[in-house]
């Protein structure tokens, strides 16, 4: 597979990675920062996400949020951002001819944001409403609770959004100080994909970001230690939403590839084992599946679902049974090949989206200091064997199911928690 990827490091350390796709008429450009919730000190939990909001609230050259929005709308483009535990991305989709303006808006938000006290106070209320929305959505909230339960003593276990207490205390000076520390040139990546010229993007990046000189290096990475535990969070809901999982692998672990296959076979599609057993055969859940969270220094694997309270324990039993089956017997050659085909299809079809291409460039550069060729990623998936999947299953899925980590939200009574504890003790 031919990829026209170019990479340049500016004198101050800003990295520029592009992929030229001459057959399209648009560009997706992202400004990535190696700054996420894992880098925040306790009193600033959630500031990466809050800063993402505040970058849209006005700059010296574009004084208000409306000025920024109107300029992007006038281009017929799209502007947005997202925050993760290890990075933040601000991105724009524009016609190729508008790439200079699109990148100028992004970099202006980084270098020229005003952080007006009134706007800060107003946006604080918006983020607090966002926290309430998360708390009102158990299907979303349970994943944060699971992360906190499996990694109780590590920053990767904390929610990206922060807490009511920390968000309520952020000041404009906190935002400026965090930018000075975490948004230095060596933390930044400009990634772009579409109908573009690499030399032009480098020239624009040098003009707009070449003067940055501050910033700190990423802190020392420590691999999180997974903690078996059970958290039943009582809420007056109609369903129980749950996650059941174990320690996993990080971005730099070779085992992440067979784990990705295992994840896909267990819960990655409508044909997956958990979907078939829990939804199709028994009708116990509408939503059921699994996922693998991979970070720089580690990760975890989890199954999830939503079911009626009276079916919760049965669903847990079914998840544990599928874990035990794959730990003992592994997967079949047919399942392995089907999963490989799904990965190949998903990776290749994603290349039809300039935003997906740009995202792959940015994340690859942040994690590996290079753009890993798509063909290399496909080859590593294709090289996974049945024995590799079995080895990973036996390494991470415990024989003693009491060593699993469980988080659930539902209308629990104290008796439910005692019953679950007894059930786990029997295992």
Residues assigned a catalytic role: 52
Please state, as a whole number, how many other Cβ atoms lie within 10 Å of the Cβ of residue 426: 7
CA-based R_g, the chain, Å: 23
- How many angstroms separate the CA atoms of 93 and 102, rounded? 8
Q: Are 95 and 77 in contact (CB under 8 A)?
A: yes
What is the spatial distance between Cα 78 and Cα 97, in angstroms, rounded to a whole number? 14
- Half-sphere exposure (CA, 13 Å, Cβ side) for 204? 25
For residues 101 and 374, give the distance between their C-alpha atoms in angstroms, rounded to a whole number: 29
**CA–CA distance, 180 with 9 (Å, rounded to integer):** 20
With b for 16 or more beta-carbon neighbours within 10 A and e for fewer, the 26-48 pattern comes to bbbbbbbbbbbbbbbeeebbbbb
Q: Cα(99)–Cα(112) distance, rounded to whole angstroms?
A: 19
- Distances in Å between the Cα of 141 and the Cα atoms of 191, 316, 409, 426 are 31, 19, 8, 29
| CA 9/CA 359 separation, integer angstroms | 18
> 213: how many CB neighbours lie within 10 A of its CB?
9
CB 238 within 8 A of CB 310: no
Q: Which of 241, 236, 233 is nearest to 285 (CA)?
A: 241
């Amino acid at each position: 597979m031919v990829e026209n990827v170019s990479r340049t490091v500016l004198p101050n350390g800003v990295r520029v990675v592009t992929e030229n796709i001459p057959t399209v008429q648009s560009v997706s450009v992202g400004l990535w920062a190696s700054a996420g919730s894992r880098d925040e000190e306790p009193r600033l939990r959630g500031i990466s996400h809050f800063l993402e909001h505040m970058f849209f609230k006005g700059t010296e050259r574009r004084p208000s949020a409306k000025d920024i929005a109107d300029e992007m709308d006038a281009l017929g483009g799209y502007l947005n951002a997202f925050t993760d535990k290890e990075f933040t991305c601000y991105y724009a989709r524009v016609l190729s001819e508008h790439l200079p303006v699109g990148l100028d808006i992004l970099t202006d938000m980084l270098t020229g944001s005003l952080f007006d006290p009134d706007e800060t106070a107003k946006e604080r209320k918006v983020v607090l409403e966002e926290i309430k929305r998360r708390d009102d959505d158990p299907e979303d909230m349970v994943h944060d609770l699971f992360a906190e339960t499996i990694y109780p003593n590590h920053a990767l276990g904390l929610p990206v959004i922060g807490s009511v207490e920390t968000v309520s205390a952020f000041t404009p000076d906190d935002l400026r100080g965090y930018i000075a520390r975490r948004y230095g040139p060596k933390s930044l990546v400009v990634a772009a994909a579409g109908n573009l010229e690499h030399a032009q993007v480098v020239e624009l990046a040098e003009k707009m970001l070449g003067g940055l000189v501050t910033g700190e290096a990423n802190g020392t990475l420590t691999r999180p230690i997974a903690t078996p535990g059970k958290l039943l969070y009582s809420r007056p809901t109609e369903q129980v939403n749950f996650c059941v999982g174990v320690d996993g692998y990080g971005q730099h672990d070779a085992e992440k590839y067979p784990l990705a296959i295992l994840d896909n076979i267990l819960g990655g599609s409508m044909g997956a084992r958990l979907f078939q057993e829990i939804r199709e055969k028994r009708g116990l859940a509408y939503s059921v599946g699994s996922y693998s969270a991979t970070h720089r220094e580690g990760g975890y694997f989890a199954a999830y679902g939503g079911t009626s309270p009276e079916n919760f324990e049965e669903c847990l039993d079914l998840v544990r049974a599928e874990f035990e089956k794959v730990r003992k017997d592994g997967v079949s050659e047919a399942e392995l090949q089907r999963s490989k085909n799904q990965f190949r299809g998903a990776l290749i079809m994603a290349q039809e989206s300039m935003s997906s291409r740009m995202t792959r460039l940015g994340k690859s550069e942040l994690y590996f200091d290079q753009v890993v060729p798509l063909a290399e990623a496909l080859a590593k998936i294709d090289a996974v064997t049945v024995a590799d999947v079995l080895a990973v299953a036996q390494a991470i899925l415990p024989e003693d199911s009491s060593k699993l980590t469980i988080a659930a939200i539902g209308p629990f009574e104290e008796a439910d928690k005692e019953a679950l504890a007894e059930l786990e003790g029997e295992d």
